Amino acid sequence: MNRIVVLLLLLVPGLAAAAREPAQYTLRYDAASRVMRVSLCLDRAAARQRFAGDATAPDHVRDLSRSSGASLQRDGDGWNARDWRAGECLRWHADLGRIADANAHRSSLRASETITDPGGWLLMASGIEAADASVELPAGIAMSAPWTPLPSPDATRRYRIVHTPTDWLARLAIGHLSETTIERPGGRLHVAIGGKSDVAQRARLLAWLGRVSDAATTAYGRLPLADVQVLVIPVGAQREAVVFGQSTRGQGNGLSLFVDPSRDARAFERDWIAVHELSHLFHPHLGARGAWLAEGLATYLQNVLRARAGLLTPAQAWAELADGFARGRAATPRDRAPTLEHASLAMETDHGYGRVYWSGTAYWLVVDLELRRSSGGRLGVDEALRRFDACCLAKQDWTPQAFVERLDALLGTDVFARRWHEYRGLAQFPDIPALDDPADAAVRAAIMRAKDRSDAKSKAKD
C-alpha cells in the first residue's frame, strides 16, 4: 500500500473506516411463506460485536446463528457476539407476513401488500453507519424501500442502507407493485403503486404525482434529496382521494400516501397531503420537541408551493392559511395551556395537532415576512432552505435549536433563533400579521410566485 495512504489511514480516523468494505446484507424473499431470509457479513474482526433492531426485533427475528458456529448472547433488545471473525456472517429469518398482518389489525386502512417497518427485523451491527444490500425477489414480485438504489449487473436489486436511530419509522412493502421513477432536478422519486389499480388509474396517479413533484421544485428549483421512496397504497373507496400521508426517515427518506385510486383527477387536484409530505424533505429530523417547527414548515409550504405551481391561486392559498390559523387558534386552550414546545412533545398523546401545526405555520410565515421586508426581497425562507440543503441537510442529528441557529448563520440574520425562542414558550396561539395589509402586498405576492428557473439554476451553483 502507498506510504502516504497508510499515513492518512493512521492520522485521519474517518478514512480508515471508509477504506473498509461496507457491511453486506443478502436478503432472499419467499412469496409463498412471506418470509425474508437475511445474512449480514462484516469484514472486520471484533472482540465483541453487537446486533440489534428496534424494541420489537427480538419478537420478529428467528433462527439467529453465526456462520462460524460460535454462540450469541441475548442482551436486552439485541445480541452480542464475542470474538467476531473478519468475514463472518450473521444469519436469521423474519416472518414478514405475520408482522404485516399484526400491524394491519391495528389500522383501519387495509393494504394488499406485505408492509413492515424494517427496523423491526433488519438487525444492524453496532459501529456501522451504512451497509450495502442485495435483494433477491421471486418473479412478478417487487419491493419498495427507503434505501438508495445502486447499480446492479443482473436482476438482483442492490441498495445502500443508511443506519438511523431505531425509533425512526420506515416502511418496506413487498408485493405486486407497479414501479416508476420520476426524475426532477436534484433527485428522483422512486414511486411504487400497490393494489390492483387499472392502467387508467395508474396513469392518473402518476400524472398527479408528477404535478406534486413539480410543485416541490418551486421552493428553490430542485428536489432537496437525491433519492426518495414514494409508496402509494390503495385503501378502497374513501371520501377523499388521499386519506392519509406520512413522511419517514428510517434507513433513508420516504413518504407513504394512502389513496382511493378510483377518484377522478379533480379530486386529486384538490389534495394537499402529498405536497405536505414532500415538504418535509426540506428539513432534517427534528424529533418530538421540534414537531411544531417541522409540521409548521410543511403546512406553510403545502400552500405556498401549490400556489407557485398553479394548483391554487395565490388568493386561495392565503385563504387556506387564514382558515388554518383560525382553526389553530380555536384548538388552543384558553386557560392553563402548556407552552408550544410542551404541546409539541405531547402532540401524539394529547392529539393537539391543530395548535401545533398552525402555530408552527405562523412561525414560518412571520419569519418569511420579516426576512423579505428587511432584505428588500433578497432573502426568505426558501433561500435559507436552499443554503441549508447545500451544506447540511444530509446530516441526520439536528436539534431544533441547532437547526434554526444554522439557518441564521447561513443568511447572516438572527430572525430564526429569535423567533424560535419566542414561539417555543408561547402558552397561547401566536398573533398573526394582517394578511391583507396593502403595505405588504408586494411581499405577499413574491411569497406565492415561483422564481424564474434560470435564476434558481444560477443560485444552485453558489
3-state secondary structure 88-147: CEEEEEEEHHHHHHHHHHCCCCCCCCEEECHHHCCCEECCCCEEEEEEECCCCCEEECCC
Do 293 and 325 fall into the same domain? Answer: yes
Give the position of cell 418551486: 218
In order along its 462 residues, the chain shows pLDDT tens digits of 444 433 433 344 444 444 456 799 999 999 999 999 999 999 999 999 999 999 999 999 999 999 999 999 999 889 999 999 999 999 999 999 999 999 887 776 667 899 999 999 999 999 999 999 999 999 999 999 999 999 988 888 999 999 999 999 999 999 999 999 999 999 999 999 998 878 999 999 999 999 999 999 999 999 999 999 999 999 888 999 999 999 999 999 999 999 999 999 999 999 999 999 999 999 999 999 999 999 999 999 999 999 999 999 999 999 999 999 999 999 999 888 899 999 999 999 999 999 999 999 999 999 999 999 999 999 999 999 999 999 999 887 899 999 999 999 999 999 999 999 999 999 999 999 999 999 999 999 999 998 765 444 444 334
Do 296 and 438 fall into the same domain? Answer: yes
Query: Is the pTM for the entire model greater than 0.85?
Result: yes
Which domain CATH number covers 426? 1.10.390
Grid cell listed for 174 = 413487498
Which domain CATH number covers 262? 1.10.390.10
Residue 3 forms part of a structural domain? no
Domain that holds residue 172: 19-176
Do 303 and 447 fall into the same domain? Answer: yes
Residue 12 forms part of a structural domain? no
**Is the CB of residue 233 less than 8 Å from the CB of residue 113?**
yes
Do 364 and 241 fall into the same domain? Answer: no
Do 304 and 387 fall into the same domain? Answer: yes
3 state SS for 334-403: CCCCCCHHHHHHCHHHHCCHHHHHHHHHHHHHHHHHHHHHHHCCCCCHHHHHHHHHHHCCCCCCCCHHHH
Do 450 and 315 fall into the same domain? Answer: yes
Q: How far is CA 259 from the centre of its chain?
A: 19
DSSP string, 144-206: E-SSEEE--SSSSEEEEEE---TTS---EEEES-EEEEEEETTEEEEEEE-TT--HHHHHHHH
**Is the CB of residue 242 less than 8 Å from the CB of residue 273?**
yes
Give the position of cell 414561539: 423
Do 300 and 376 fall into the same domain? Answer: yes
Do 51 and 192 fall into the same domain? Answer: no
Do 287 and 427 fall into the same domain? Answer: yes
Residue 7 forms part of a structural domain? no
Residue 335 confidence (pLDDT): 85
Dist. CA 316–CA 307, nearest whole Å: 8
**Count of structural domains, the chain:** 3
Instruction: Pick the last residue of a domain from 225, 256, 282.
Output: 282
Which domain CATH number covers 146? 2.60.40.3650
Instruction: Pick the last residue of a domain from 264, 282, 300.
Output: 282
Do 384 and 419 fall into the same domain? Answer: yes
Residue 333 forms part of a structural domain? yes
Residue 90 forms part of a structural domain? yes
Dist. CA 27–CA 29, nearest whole Å: 7
Do 329 and 247 fall into the same domain? Answer: no
Instruction: Pick the last residue of a domain from 249, 282, 315.
Output: 282
Do 27 and 121 fall into the same domain? Answer: yes
Residue 27 forms part of a structural domain? yes
Residue 32 carries which DSSP code?
T
Residue 1 forms part of a structural domain? no
Collapse the DSSP code of 427 into the 3-class scheme (helix H, G, I; strand E, B; otherwise coil) and give the result. coil
Grid cell listed for 440 = 405588504
Residue 461 confidence (pLDDT): 39
Residue 9 forms part of a structural domain? no
